[in-house]
């Protein structure tokens, strides 16, 4: 996967160069519309080989909240501006920095909070061989995850018992059949909002 790593570093570098005006505008809007908290949301996530790293996103929630580890569309802790950023995935643009420094890849499993990796057993632990990604096959399948969770009576249970095991299965399949051109296809489908 050397080609994947080279692509990640170069593309994230040029992506940050090209998108810095948009990053600046979003940062200013967050400061103006969502005062009282940081512009960037930082959180420890599980990376390749189970190593923890700090993931960066634009803040989309109120500064102080004690909510669930899963996000549901329409919940009160998500601000109006944050909802728009999340809808168009603009809150994830700072993750380009994570890709540049090697913590993440453009394509791979979404990085989980600590605890979920402990649930992986047997062959499923091979998922930790992958760097977490900004997008991936599971991200494409569950691009409307927040809406799906909003329809459930018990969102956390549904995430842990239904979504998480299915995502693991999808990511193991991705690992087993990885190709650089498949990564490019996933990126293109993500940009244009299409399903594979």
Backbone dihedral angles phi then psi of residue 128, each to the nearest 5 degrees: -75, -5
- 73 touches 139 (CB < 8 A): no
Enumerate the H helices of 89-144 as residue ranges: 95-100, 137-141
CA distances to 12, 17, 83, 87 from 21, rounded to whole Å, are 15, 9, 21, 20
Helix axes 2-33 and 180-191, enclosed angle (nearest 10): 20
The answer to whether position 126 is within a domain reads yes
d(Cα 49, Cα 147) in Å, to the nearest integer? 31
Q: Of 179, 171, 181, whose CA–CA distance to 141 is shortest?
A: 171
Number of domains making up the chain: 1
**pLDDT per residue as tens, the chain (196 positions):** 899 999 999 999 999 999 999 999 999 999 999 988 999 999 999 999 999 999 999 999 987 655 566 777 667 789 999 999 998 999 999 999 999 999 999 999 999 999 998 899 999 999 999 999 999 999 999 999 999 999 999 999 999 999 999 999 999 999 999 999 999 999 999 998 877 6
The answer to whether position 196 is within a domain reads no
The answer to whether position 61 is within a domain reads yes
The enclosing H or E element of 20 equals helix 2-33
Partners of 42 in the β-ladder: 56
d(Cα 53, Cα 195) in Å, to the nearest integer? 29
pLDDT computed for residue 193 by the predictor: 82
The answer to whether position 40 is within a domain reads yes
Range of the structural domain that residue 24 is part of: 2-191
CA distances to 29, 38, 188 from 57, rounded to whole Å, are 14, 11, 21
Q: Considering the entire predicted model, what is its pTM?
A: 0.92
The answer to whether position 185 is within a domain reads yes
The answer to whether position 51 is within a domain reads yes
């Amino acid at each position: 996967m050397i080609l994947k790593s080279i692509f990640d570093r170069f593309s994230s570098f040029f992506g940050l160069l090209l998108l810095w005006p948009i990053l600046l505008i979003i940062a200013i809007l967050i400061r103006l519309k969502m005062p009282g908290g940081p512009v960037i949301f930082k959180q420890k996530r599980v990376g390749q080989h189970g190593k923890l790293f700090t993931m960066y996103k634009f803040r989309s929630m109120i500064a102080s909240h004690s909510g669930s580890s899963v996000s549901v569309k329409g919940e009160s802790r998500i601000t109006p501006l944050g909802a728009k950023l999340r809808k168009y995935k603009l809150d994830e643009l700072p993750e380009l920095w994570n890709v540049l420094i090697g913590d993440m890849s453009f394509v791979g499993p979404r990085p989980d909070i600590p605890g979920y990796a402990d649930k992986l057993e047997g062959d499923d632990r091979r998922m930790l061989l992958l760097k977490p990604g900004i997008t991936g096959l599971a991200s494409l399948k569950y691009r409307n995850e927040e809406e799906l969770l909003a329809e459930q009576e018990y969102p956390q249970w549904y995430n842990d018992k239904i979504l998480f095991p299915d995502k693991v299965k999808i990511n193991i399949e991705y690992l087993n059949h990885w190709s650089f051109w498949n990564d490019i296809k996933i990126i293109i489908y993500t940009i244009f909002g299409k399903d594979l």
